[in-house]
Structure 1
Amino acid sequence: MFSVPPSCKQTLGSLSTSIQHQISTRPMLHSNYRAFLRRHNHTDIKPNNIIIDREEDRKEVTIHRVQLADIEDSIMVPLNRNILGKAVGNRRWRSLRAHAEARANTPSDVFSSGIVTQGSSRGVDVQVIVLQHQLWYFGNNEYITVFLKHMGDENPWGTDVNIVERLG
């Protein structure tokens, strides 16, 4: 069973977007991905499965180690072999091949890693995107107003925030 070292306390997904931006542009993050991807097909690469051992001061973030968690969602895929017929991975971070249930392999994980890294380097707030999609598919301006009222004053979105503008 895989255990997370005590010093690795935060996932990429739990960090602020400004810290994600600093971390995701570092060569160490990329080299750790490459080292892992040479051996496994993780099938579930997403920000909450990337564990970062880091220190932060006023000027910069120092990364000591980056690891992938949730190893039970990985599989050893022999060289020149593929996973076929399965839409593997988290749909938000899944490669096009995996969406099509076509050849999922190390390049698929590299693609997923790139999406996670690119989103983090831009400072994208994934929760905003997920909420945006849910409201677009199932709601309208009236629904958004009712939703905010239902959530109450202490919700992280704040009733004074114009959520329609925030969500685009």
Structure 2
Amino acid sequence: MAVYRASAAGSQYVAKKITPHSNFDYQRKLQDSVASSPHVRAVIDTVPKHRLFVFPYLTNRLLQFDNKTLSLAQKKSILKRVLLGLADLHNNCTLHTDIKPNNIMMNCEAGPSEDVVALKGCVSGNEIWRTPETWARAAQNTPSDVFSFAILSIYAVTDIMVFYVSESERKGEEPWRTILRRHVSYFGDLPGLEGLFNHIGNEENPYYAPLLEMTPSSNADNPRKPFSLWRDDTLDPVFKDLVGKMTGLYPPKRITAREALKHPWFYGVGDV
């Protein structure tokens, strides 16, 4: 997808060329369905002749920030606005499928009373933020976005990318094996795994057997490290409770974006 930066009447814009195999009108309808949300960066104009979508230009991405320079209150405010955008998408039966720091756009040139945080893009997921059902090529739905948002939240609060795997950590195995093992170790339990196996559907799925080998009962020599038991100065029990409710391995058991907005961790952070 070609991306251009443009300007008109003193304002900056981003123009994206829609690929030929994408249905231009369908993509436009998706954009129109969330255009009223202040928390989703939606199309503000189109150039059908050139298959261009025009978006407002926002100056920064969450990934560009040093998390240590942001207060917890600022992080909560950013995450709540992202979650509001996600809830607006889900209300329109639209999945994002690529929740990650690089898709959290912020206008740092705006004044304190008009700062902007918006959710950008709808493309395939990145492996560091990917859900277990996505790895297993199983069905995705709104709970998949919620899981990825939880992983994003851990990064925003702690500066830890829980599924980032360095070369030394791979120990010669394929990255997906290490990442899935962490899914089970940090967020899995037997009921969640049983639900995930049912969600995957059948033993012919190439990820079924590897996941079965990662069950707690099969890893006595490599015990789980549940996120709920992590010790870190940036982690409080309320935040860990929120993350736990969003990261169950069985997708239907995860809370929704709207339910997450009502969690005590977000109390006092603006109005829902």
TM range (shorter): 0.5 to 0.7
Question: Structure 1 regions of 5+ residues with no counterpart?
Answer: 74-87, 140-168
1:41 aligns with 2:95: yes
Distance, in Å, in 2 between the alignment partners of 1:21 and 1:134 is 32
CA contact (8 A) 1:44 1:90 kept: yes
1:11 deviates by: 0.6
Superposed CA offset, 1:80-112 (max 9, x none): xxxxxxxx5111101121111112011101111
1:134 aligns with 2:171: no
Within 5 Å, give how 1:11-160 maps onto structure 2: 11-19=61-69, 22=72, 23-26=74-77, 27-39=80-92, 40-54=94-108, 64-71=115-122, 73=123, 88-124=124-160, 126=161, 130=164, 133-137=166-170
1:54 deviates by: 3.7
| Cα distance change, pair 28–49 in 1 and its aligned pair in 2 (3 A) | closer
1:43 deviates by: 1.7
Superposed CA offset, 1:4-40 (max 9, x none): 423x211111111124664431233322232234332
CA contact (8 A) 1:9 1:52 kept: yes
Distance, in Å, in 2 between the alignment partners of 1:33 and 1:19 is 25
RMSD: 3.2
Distance, in Å, in 2 between the alignment partners of 1:62 and 1:138 is 49
1:110 maps to amino acid: V
Q: Which deviates more from structure 2 when the two are superposed, residues 89-98 or residues 47-56?
A: 47-56
Count of residue pairs the alignment pairs up: 117
**Structure 1 runs, 4 residues or longer, greater than 6 Å off:** none
1:68 maps to amino acid: L
CA contact (8 A) 2:82 2:119 kept: no
3-state SS of paired residue (2:56) = coil
| Cα distance change, pair 137–45 in 1 and its aligned pair in 2 (3 A) | same
3-state SS of paired residue (1:103) = coil
| Cα distance change, pair 117–20 in 1 and its aligned pair in 2 (3 A) | farther
1:5 maps to amino acid: P
Larger Rg: 2
CA contact (8 A) 2:75 2:157 kept: yes
CA contact (8 A) 1:45 1:109 kept: yes
CA contact (8 A) 2:62 2:106 kept: yes
Distance, in Å, in 2 between the alignment partners of 1:51 and 1:38 is 21
| Cα distance change, pair 28–44 in 1 and its aligned pair in 2 (3 A) | closer
Distance, in Å, in 2 between the alignment partners of 1:89 and 1:69 is 13
* TM-score normalized with structure 1 length: 0.55
3-state SS of paired residue (1:92) = coil
CA contact (8 A) 1:12 1:20 kept: no
3-state SS of paired residue (1:94) = coil
Question: Structure 2 regions of 5+ residues with no counterpart?
Answer: 1-51, 173-272
CA contact (8 A) 2:129 2:163 kept: no
Distance, in Å, in 1 between the alignment partners of 2:116 and 2:135 is 30
3-state SS of paired residue (2:166) = helix
Distance, in Å, in 2 between the alignment partners of 1:30 and 1:50 is 11
* TM-score normalized with structure 2 length: 0.36
